Copies of this chain bind each other. A is one copy, B any other.
């Protein structure tokens, strides 16, 4: 069974914490050890935003800002890869074309961003599509999709499911500046929609939950298509 997990940039923070990353790798290894394959897509987080902001202030257009963010996501992905050493073999991928081949040959494939204009969320959806993954788990610093921003309004309610059309509506409301692809950008949602990829939003904070979500346990927010 193949699964794709998008690990939000919050996992890496400003000063990547080895024990948090190691904890995640150890939990996910248990899935791989059961003869499964895993693609992990690392977000950029605060370090990406730091570089993007500096570039933007230097007058860079947004595509170049994206390229800077991509470099940081790749450093984050490399930290993940290192964390699997000693657990299971992990390799890096830098293109979608060879991804199915790499997934067949290795237990874990890590990726960062690929191209300007694409968030790492979009990369994760494309990775799930091209590898025909059974599930895409999108792990961020909130535990699912809420009716409002849970950080601003404590009465915001967690949605158990969300229709892809509603997700698109939310995605359209934000502007896609580099480093600000919140939740899912429109491209990511359109990929979900076209391939109806089983997708669940969960929290980054507990690796066990991510493992459970991969295995199909009902938690966080599930995307529904009908």
Contacts and interface: CB of A to CB of B under 8 A. Distances in A.
Contacts of A130: 61, 63-64, 116
Stoichiometry, as copies per complex, reads: 6
Contacts of A105: 105
A194 B168 contact: no
By secondary structure, the A interface counts as helix
Given A67-B78, A79-B68, A190-B175, A104 B117 contact: no
B97 A67 contact: yes
Interface in A150-194: 168, 172, 175-177, 185-187, 190-191, 193-194
A146 interface: no
Chain A contact residues (Cβ within 8 angstroms of B): what range? 35 or more
Interface in A90-147: 91, 96-97, 101, 104-106, 114-118, 122, 125-126, 129-130, 132
Given A115-B96, A126-B117, A186-B187, A82 B64 contact: yes
Nearest to A98: B91
Contacts of A91: 101
A194 B60 CA distance: 13
15 contacts: A18-B54, A21-B58, A22-B58, A51-B79, A55-B82, A58-B82, A58-B85, A62-B129, A96-B115, A117-B118, A117-B125, A117-B187, A118-B118, A118-B187, A172-B186
